[in-house]
Chains A and B, each alone.
Chain A
C-alpha cells in the first residue's frame, strides 16, 4: 500500500516556541492531505484539509494563525504549531488520500509535549 511518513515522531518543546511537523507521501502524489489531533482516549479530530498549491481549509474552532499548514508540493505538507502552549500537547496525525482516492493512509503520528 501507499506509504505516508511523518516526522518527528516525538517532540518536546518549551512553551512559546514553534514546532514544525512534516508529512510526506513516499510513493505517490497526494494532492490532498489531512491533519488531525487526538487527545488521550478520544477519537481523531480533523483540524484542517491541506490542498497542494492552495490555502488549507480549517475546521471550525481551529486557529489558522496558530496552526500553519503549508502544502507546497505534491508529496509534502507541513504543520507548524506556533507559540506552543501546554494545552497544545497532543498526538498530531496526518493522512493522505491514496492513489485510488478512496483509502486514507496515515503517517506514524507526532506526539508533541509542550513544557
Chain B
C-alpha cells in the first residue's frame, strides 16, 4: 500500500529552527509537495521537489532523497505566524497526490 509518515505534532521556539520529516512509500514517484495549512483554512503551497537535494525559498527549505523515500521541510527564524499544520504529499505514478496526515507545529514565545 501507499503510505506517508510524518510526526503528528512538534513544538519549537520563536526565532529557532525546526525540521519536519516525511517518509513515504508510494507506487511510483512524480514529486513531493509541502503545504501549509492554518486552522480552518485551505492549504497553501510551499514547495515541490522532484530531484534529490535541497530547495531553498526564503526562510523555508525542502530536501528530498528519492533513494531513501525521505524529505524534510526546514523552517528558519521561526515566527508565531508559522504555527500551522504542515502537510507532506507525494504524487504517485498515476499523478495522484497521496497525502500525509500533517504535522501540527506549535511555536512558543
- In the complex, which range does the number of interface residues on chain A fall in? 20 to 34
Report which residue of B31, B100, B102 has the largest number of chain A beta carbons within 10 angstroms of its beta carbon: B102
Report if B44 contacts A (CB, 8 A).
Answer: yes
Contact between B42 and A106, CB atoms less than 8 A apart: yes
Q: Is chain B's binding surface mostly helix, strand, loop or mixed?
A: loop
CB contacts between A and B, total, < 8 Å: 40
- B48 partner residues in chain A, CB cutoff 8 A: 102-103
Contact between B102 and A1, CB atoms less than 8 A apart: no
- Count how many chain B residues have C-beta atoms less than 8 Å from C-beta atoms of the other chain: 16
Report if A47 contacts B (CB, 8 A).
Answer: no
Which residue of chain B is the closest to A1 with respect to CB atoms?
B45
Cα A46 to Cα B42 in complex, Å, equals 14
Cα A98 to Cα B17 in complex, Å, equals 31
How many Å from the CB of B22 to the closest CB on chain A? Answer: 12
Report if B97 contacts A (CB, 8 A).
Answer: yes
Report if A108 contacts B (CB, 8 A).
Answer: yes
19 pairs from A and B in contact (CB 8 Å cutoff):
A42-B101, A43-B99, A43-B101, A43-B102, A44-B43, A44-B87, A46-B96, A49-B96, A91-B40, A93-B42, A93-B43, A102-B48, A103-B45, A104-B45, A105-B45, A106-B42, A106-B44, A109-B41, A111-B40
